[in-house]
Structure 1
Amino acid sequence: MSIENIPNRKDVPKNLTWDLTTIFKNHAEFEKEFKQVSAMLPQVSNLTGKLKMDSKSLLYVVQTVLRLNRMFEKLYVYAQLSNDIDTSNGSTQTDMDKVETLGTKVNKAQSWFDFEIIELGRQKIAQFIEEQPQLKQYERLFAVILKNEGHVLKPDEEKLLSGAANIFASPEKIFGILDSSDFSFPTVPNEDGKIVKLSNGIYSSLLQSSDREVRKTAFQKFYTVFDQFQHTLAATLSTEVSVNNYQAEVHHFDSAREMAMHENEIPTTVYDTLIKSVNQHLPLLHRYVALRKKILNLSEMHMYDMYVPLAQVPKTNFTFNKGKQIVLDALETMGDDYLKHVQEEFDNRWIDVVENQGKRTGAYSSGMYDTNPYVLLNWQDNLDNIYTLIHETGHSMHSYYSSHNQPYQYGDYSIFVAEIASTTNENILTDYLLENTADPEIKKYILSSYLEGFKGTIFRQTQFAEFENEIHQASQAGKALTADFMNEKYLKLNQKYYGNQIISDPEIKLEWSRIPHFYYDFYVYQYATGFAAASNLATNLTSGNERDLQNYLDYLKSGSSKTPIEIMQLAGVDMMDSSYLDNAFAKFANRLDQLEDLL
C-alpha cells in the first residue's frame, strides 16, 4: 500500500476491528478499575510478615496478591491494545504510560512475597495445606517459588542486586542504541541501480535479490560497520556475559545457562541434546546448501547467496475471507471443538485485521485470563499472511483452552511451550497446502519456504545457542572475550555448520556482533526445540489418530499446571530424548527430496 491508501482508524470498517468493550464497556470503567488497583497497593505492601502466622493468613495473602495481579493484567491488556491500534492517539498513550508506572508500583508492593514463601519452607507449607484444604489449589504455585530455595539471597542482598538492575541491563541497552541509532551504514545500489542507504531491514531485503552483485555489495558494505566497531561490540557482549555469570555465581548456580533454564524449569539436558542432535544432522544442512548452489547455478557459493528465494512468490491473491476459509479447512484435523473456537475468533471481532494510520506493525496474539484472546494483523492479500493468521490463531487457541480449563494461577503458560502451538498450526497448513495444491509453482514456494524456515530456526538458532554457551564457559574459565577470540570461535562454528559447499566469507566471522539475541540470556535454543516439537505434533495430528488429538488438546488445556517438560510429554513429545529431533530432521529430508524432484 502507498501511504495515501492507508486509512485513518475511524475509517476502518467496524467488523475488521477489535471489540474492546468486552474488557471494559467504556473508559470510565477502566478508570474505576485503575483507582481500585492503586488503592490496593498499600494493603498488599502491609501484608509483609502475615503469611507465616497460620494457614488462614497464608490463604488470605495468596488470594489477595493474585487478585492484585489479575486486576492489573486486565488494565495492562486494555491499555496496550487500545494504544497499538493507533499509537498517534495522545489519550491512549497517556493510559499506557499510567499503566506502566502502575506496574512498577505493583511489583514493588509484592516484592516480598516469594522470599517469604521460601522462608516459610516446604514443611510448614505442607502443614498449612493439611490444615486448610483450600490451599491445595496453590500447591503448584508454591512449588514453582520453592524451586528457588537456595538460590534466593537475603532481602537486603536481593534489594542491592535489584538496585543495580539498570546497570546490569546496560550492555543490551548500549547494543540497542548502537544498532538502531548510532551506526551509520553506507549506501549501496539496489536491483534498479538506485542508491539506497543500508539498514538492518534493507540489508535483509537486498540479500534476497536475484542480482548477485547487489547481494555481494550489500553483504560486504554492511559488515564494514561491524568491522569498524568490533572491539566496542566485543566489550559490550563480554560485559553481558560477565553479568550473567556473576548473577549465576551469587545465586549459587553452576553456570549462567543453568540459572536461565532453571527459571523456566528446563533441565540443561534439553540444551545439550539439541546441540548434539543438530551436530549429528549437519550433513542435511550441507545437502541443502549444495542444492541451493545447484539451483542458483553457482560455481562458488558464498554466505550472501544463502537467502535468495529458491522459488517465486505465488501471484495468487488471497483476501482475508479466503484466508480464513483456508485456515478453517487446514485445521479440520484439530476436531470440532477446536474449530468451533476458531470460528468464534473469526465471528466475534477478536482480530484487528487491516493496517491503518498509526497502527503498530507486525502481528501478535494478546489477552489475559479474563478476556478473550486478541489477534493483531496488518493484512495483505498473500500466502504469507495466511501463515501469519494461522500462527497467531494457534497462540489464541492455546490461551483460550488454558484459561478455560485452569484456575487463574495456572491460566498462562511457559515461554518454553509458547511458540509450539502456533508453529504446529503452521506445519499443519504446510501439510494441507501440499496435499491440496496442484500448482507446481505454489508447491515449490511452500517447500522452499519450509526448508528455509527450518534452516533458519533449527540449524541457525542452534548455532547461536552453541556459540552463546561456549563464550559463557570461556569467560567463566577466565578467558578474555576479545573481538579476535569471538571472531575465531564464530568462524569455526560457521564453517562446521554450513560445510565445504560454501565459502565462509571473512565478513561472516563478525556475525556474532550484530545478533541482538545474544543479549537475551540463553533464549534462542527455545526457537529450535519449539520448531522441532511442533513438527512432531503436526505429523501426529494430520495422521487422524483420535488419541493424538486428545493428547494435543490436553497440552493446550494444561496452562502452567505442570512443568513444561511434563506438559510436552502429555502432548506426546519427550524433549529429554532426541527422537523428537530425529523425526523433525526426517521430515526436513523428505521435504528436501520433494523440492529436488520438483526442481
Structure 2
Amino acid sequence: MSEVQKLKTRDQVDSKYKWNVEKIYINSSVWEKDFEILKAKVPNMQKFSGKLGTPEELLSFLESNVEIERLLDKLLVYAHLRGDEDTGKAEFQVLKNKIDAYSAEVSSATAFFIPELLSLPERAVDEAIIKLPKLKLYEFYLADIISQKEHTLSAEGEKLLASVSDCLSAPGNIFGMLTNADMTFPCIKDEKGNEIELTEGNYSNFIKSKDRRVRKDAFETLFSTYKGFSNTLTASLTSSIKNFIFNAKTRNYSCALESSLDPNNIPVEVYDNVVDTINNNLSSLHKYVSIKKKLLGLDEIHMYDLYVPIVDAEESHIEYEDAVKIALEGIKPLGKEYLDIFKEGINEGWVDVFQNKGKRSGAYSWGCFDTMPYVLLNYNYQLNDVSTLVHEMGHSIHSYYSRKTQPYIYSGYELFCAEVASITNECLLIDYQIKNESDKKKKLFLINQQLEGIRTTVFRQCMFAEFEKLIHEKIEQGNPLSPEDLCKIYHDLNVKYFGPDMVVDAGIDMEWSRIPHFYNDFYVYQYTTGFAAANSFSKMIVEEGASAVERYIGFLKSGGSDYPISILKKAGVDMSSPKPLVDTIKRFDELLAMLEKEI
C-alpha cells in the first residue's frame, strides 16, 4: 500500500489513469497554429461596430462571435488542463499565460456589442428576428441582454466602470494577501505533544482531532490570530460591501441583493424564502447538537466540538476500479443511458485519476463545447474519493448532455444549477451506501457523514447568507459597522442556529473574517439551494423511477436555454417555494432518527 501511495512523476503514471487531452490538440505546436488563427480573426470583429441595426449584420456578428468564443474556449481548456497536470512544466505554463492574456483582447474587441445592441430602437431585435428567421436561435440570448437595459450604462459609463474594476476588487485582493500570505499562526501541540505551526491547511485536521485539547487549542489559536487583525479585516469586508452597493446604485437597482439576483431572473423572495425556511426549522439542528453532545459524552458541547466524528470507523482502502463499481451501483437509479455515459467517460479518458508530482491539488470538472468534459481527481483510495468521483462526474455528465442538446450559446449553465447535478449524484450514492451497509460502525459513519453534509451545506451556508443580508442592509441604511458590531451579529446568529445546548465560544465571533465567499456578494445561498434541489431530485428518482429520471435528464439537457428557476421548475423542483428545503430538513430528521436507532 505504501508503494501505491508513493508520489510518481507524470510519465510514471499509467496512461489509462490519465485524461486524453491529446484529443483536443496532439501537441503544443498544433495548439500554436490555432492560436494564430484566433489572433487573425479577432481584429476583424471591429468591422461590425456601428452596423448591428441590420438583421444580416447582427446575425453575421453573432455567428462570428460564436466561432471565436469556441476557438478561445478550446485553447483555454487545453492550456489549463496541461498546466494543471504538471505545474512544474514550463511549456504549458507559457501556453496558459499566453491564452489568459489574450482573453482580455477578445473581450475588448467585442466590447461594443452590448452597448450598441441596447442603443437600438425598441422592438428592433424582434423585427430583425421576423425579417431573418435564422436569428430565432438567438432570441432568448438577445432578450436576456435587453432585459438588463435599465441596469446597463452608456458605452462611456460602462467603460468607466470597467476601468475602475481593479480598484473595486481591491478589498478582496487585500483580504486574500493578508490571510494567505501575511498572516501566520503560532504553534500548537499535536496529539503526541509535538510543536506544530498552525496553518489554514492543517487547521481542518486539528479541528477534527479526537483529542479535545488539540481541537480547542487549534480553535482558540486560529481565531485569536484573526482577532488581532479585526480592524483591518473589518475595513476590507465593509469596503467590499460598499463597493458592491455602489455598483448596485450605479446600475439603478433598489438594493445590492436585487442587483446580485436579477441578472439570473431570481426574485429577492427566493433568497428570503431560503433564510425564513431554515429559521423555521432550526429545531432540527438543535436536536443534532444535542445528540452529538450525548454521543461524544460531553458535559458541555463547544463550537470546537462540531467537526469531530462521532464514530470511529476503520477507513477502507478502495482501489480506483472498485470506486467506479461502487459509484455505478450508487447512481443506478438514473438508468442505463446515464450509466453508459458514465462508463464512456471512464473508458474514453475524461478522468485524470491519481496524484503525480507537480499536479494541481483538489478536484474539478472542466471542458468546453468542442472537448470532452474532463475531470481532475487526486484519488487517494478513501471513501470520500468515491464521493468526489460521482460529484465531478455529475458536473461532467451535466455538461455532456447540455452540449449535446443545446447550441453553443445555451450549452453552459448558471451556478444556481451547477451544483445540483453533482450533489444529486452524491445523495444517490450515500443513500445506496447507507441502505446496503451491514457493518454497524460503518453505517453510523455514513449516516453522520450525510448529516454533516446537510449541516455544513444547508444550515451553515444559510447562516452565512443571513449574515450577509443583515450587514448589507445595515450599511445600505447608512450605519457604519465596527469589528464589535460584526462580531455581535455573527455571535447572535450562532446562538440562534446552534441552540441552547451549544456553548457559543467567543472565538467563533471572528469566523466571518475568514470566509472568502463574502467578497463575492450573495454567493453562498446557492450552496443551500443547490443541495435542496439535489435532495429533491434524488428523492423523486428513488421513489418515482423512470418518470422522475426523464424529468431530471431534461434538466441536464436544458443547459442555459432558460433562467435557472424556470429550468428547475420544468423538471419538478420549484425553488420559489419552501418545499425543496423542507424536504431536505425532513431527510436530516430521518437521518437523525436512524442515528438514534443505531446507537
Q: TM-score range by the shorter chain?
A: over 0.9
Pair 1:242–1:3, CA change in 2 (3 A): farther
Would the alpha carbon gap of residues 173 and 429 (structure 1) be closer, same or farther in structure 2, given more than 3 Å must change? same
Note the alpha carbon deviations across 1:463-502, whole angstroms, 9 max, x for none.
Answer: 0000101111100100002111111111111111111101
Cross-structure match for 2:398? 398
The 1:343–1:407 alpha-carbon spacing in structure 2 relative to 1, beyond 3 Å, is: same
1:203 is displaced (CA, Å) by 1.4
- Asked whether 1:309 is paired with 2:309, we answer yes
Task: Please tell me whether the aligned partners of residues 191 and 211 of structure 1 are also in contact (alpha carbons under 8 angstroms).
Answer: yes
Worse-superposed segment, 57-66 or 352-361? 57-66
Q: Secondary structure at the match of 1:353?
A: strand
SS at structure 1 position matched to 2:375 = strand
Which residue is 1:233 aligned to?
233
- Cα-to-partner distance string for 1:139-180 (whole Å, 9 max, x where unaligned): 011012112110011111111111111100100000001111
2: CA distance, partners of 1:299 / 1:121:
71
Kindly tell me: are residues 597 and 367 of structure 1, through their superposed partners in 2, closer, same or farther at Cα, counting changes over 3 Å? Answer: same
Task: Give, as a single letter, the amino acid of the residue that structure 2 aligns with 1:7.
Answer: K
Mapped to 1, the partners of 2:353 and 2:550 lie a distance apart of: 31
Give the 5 Å matches for 1:246-265: 246-265=246-265
Structure 1 position 255, deviation (Å): 1.0
Structure-2 residue corresponding to 1:272: 272
Aligned counterpart, 2:51 = 50
Contact in 1 for aligned 2:364/2:377 (Cα 8 Å): yes
Could you list the per-position Cα deviations for residues 297-321 of structure 1 after superposition, in whole angstroms to 9, with x for gaps in the alignment?
1111111111101122433211000
For 1:108, what is the secondary structure of its paired residue? helix
Deviation at 1:544, TM superposition (A): 4.3
Deviation at 1:580, TM superposition (A): 1.1
Question: Secondary structure of the equivalent of 2:523?
Answer: coil
Contact 2:223 2:510 in 1 (8 A): yes
Matched, 1:80 2:102: no
Equivalence for 1:503 = 503
SS at match of 2:331: helix
Which letter does structure 2 place at the counterpart of 1:367?
A: G
SS at match of 1:371: coil
- Give the Cα separation in 1 of the matches to 2:445 and 2:532: 21
Match status 1:15 vs 2:16:
yes
Instruction: Output the CA distance in 1 between the equivalents of 2:17 and 2:378.
Output: 11
Partner of 1:25: 26
What is the distance in 2 between the residues matched to 1:571 and 1:130?
A: 31
Task: Determine if contact 1:55/1:132 at 8 Å carries over to the other structure.
Answer: yes
Q: Counterparts in 2 of 1:169-208, with a 5 A limit? A: 169-208=169-208
Structure 2 regions of 5+ residues with no counterpart?
Answer: none
Aligned pairs for 1:69-218 within 5 A:
69-218=69-218
Structure 1 counterpart SS, 2:151 = coil
Counterpart position of 1:37 = 38
Q: Measure how far apart 1:192 and its partner are.
A: 1.2
CA distance in 1, matches of 2:595, 2:297: 16
Aligned residues: CA RMSD: 1.2
Equivalents in 2 of 1:455, 1:186: separation in Å?
Answer: 30
Q: Which amino acid is 2:265 matched to?
A: E
Q: Is the 1:84–1:360 Cα contact (8 Å) retained in structure 2?
A: yes
Q: Which amino acid aligns with 2:138?
A: Y
- C-alpha distance after superposition, 1:416-475 (max 9, x if no partner): 100000000000001111122111121111110100110001100000000101111100
Aligned to 2:554: 554
1:229-378 residue pairs with structure 2 within 5 A? 229-378=229-378
What's the CA shift for 1:3? 12
CA separation in 2, counterparts of 1:146 and 1:502?
50
Work out whether 1:6 is the aligned partner of 2:30: no
Structure 1 residues 92-143: Cα deviation after superposition (integer angstroms, max 9, x where no partner): 0000000101111111111111122222255000000000000000001101
- SS of the aligned residue for 1:46 comes to helix
Name 2:461's counterpart in structure 1. 461
Cα distance in 2 between the residues matched to 1:314 and 1:518: 37
Counterpart of 1:154 in structure 2: which amino acid?
Answer: S
Shift of 1:49: 1.1
Structure 2 counterpart of 1:9, one-letter code = R
**Unpaired segments ≥5 residues, structure 1:** none
My pick for the range that moved more, 309-318 or 281-290, is 309-318
Alignment of 1:49-68 (within 5 A): 49-52=50-53, 54-68=54-68
Contact kept, 8 Å, 2:333 with 2:545, in 1: the verdict is: no
* Structure-2 separation of matches of 1:73 and 1:284: 45
1:4–1:343 Cα change, 3 Å: closer
Q: Secondary structure at the match of 2:432?
A: helix
Indicate if the aligned counterparts of 2:315 and 2:383 stay in contact, CA closer than 8 A: no
CA contact (8 A) 1:314 1:445 kept: no
Q: Secondary structure at the match of 2:188?
A: strand
Aligned ranges 1:423-434 → 2 under 5 Å? 423-434=423-434
CA contact under 8 A between 1:273 and 1:578: conserved in structure 2? yes
**Alignment partners' CA distance in 1, 2:368 and 2:502:** 47
Separation (CA, whole Å) in 2 of partners of 1:107 and 1:442: 52
Paired amino acid for 1:218: A
Alignment of 1:519-530 (within 5 A): 519-530=519-530
SS at match of 1:361: coil
| Deviation, structure 1 residue 10 | 0.8
Q: 1:122·1:146 contact (CA, 8 Å) conserved in 2?
A: no
**2:451 corresponds to which residue?**
451
CA contact (8 A) 1:83 1:93 kept: yes
Higher alpha-carbon deviation: 536-545 or 252-261: 536-545
Higher mean C-alpha displacement, 40-49 vs 530-539: 40-49
- What secondary structure does 2:301 align onto? coil
Q: Distance in 2 between matches of 1:214 and 1:248?
A: 45
SS of equivalent residue, structure 1 residue 309: coil
TM-score w.r.t. the length of structure 1 is 0.98
Aligned mates of 1:386, 1:4 — CA distance in 2: 17
CA contact (8 A) 1:187 1:196 kept: yes
Quick one: distance in 1 between partners of 2:535 and 2:351?
A: 26
Q: Deviations over 1:245-304 (max 9, x none)?
A: 000001000111111112332211110000000000100010000011000111111111
Rounded Cα–Cα distance in structure 2 between residues aligned with 1:352 and 1:529: 30
Task: Specify the code of the residue in structure 1 equivalent to 2:38.
Answer: V
Counterpart of 1:223? 223
Please give the alpha-carbon distance, in whole angstroms, between the structure 2 residues aligned to 1:553 and 1:94.
Answer: 39
**Partner Cα distance (2:9, 2:184) in 1:** 33
Displacement of 1:21: 1.9
Aligned residues: 598
Contact 1:8 1:356 in 2 (8 A): yes
1:317 aligned counterpart, secondary structure: coil
Query: How far apart, in 2, do the equivalents of 1:377 and 1:559 lie?
Result: 24
1:3/1:264 Cα in 2 relative to 1: closer, same or farther (>3 Å)? Answer: farther
- Aligned to 1:473, the other structure's residue is in SS state helix
CA distance in 2, matches of 1:449, 1:226: 29
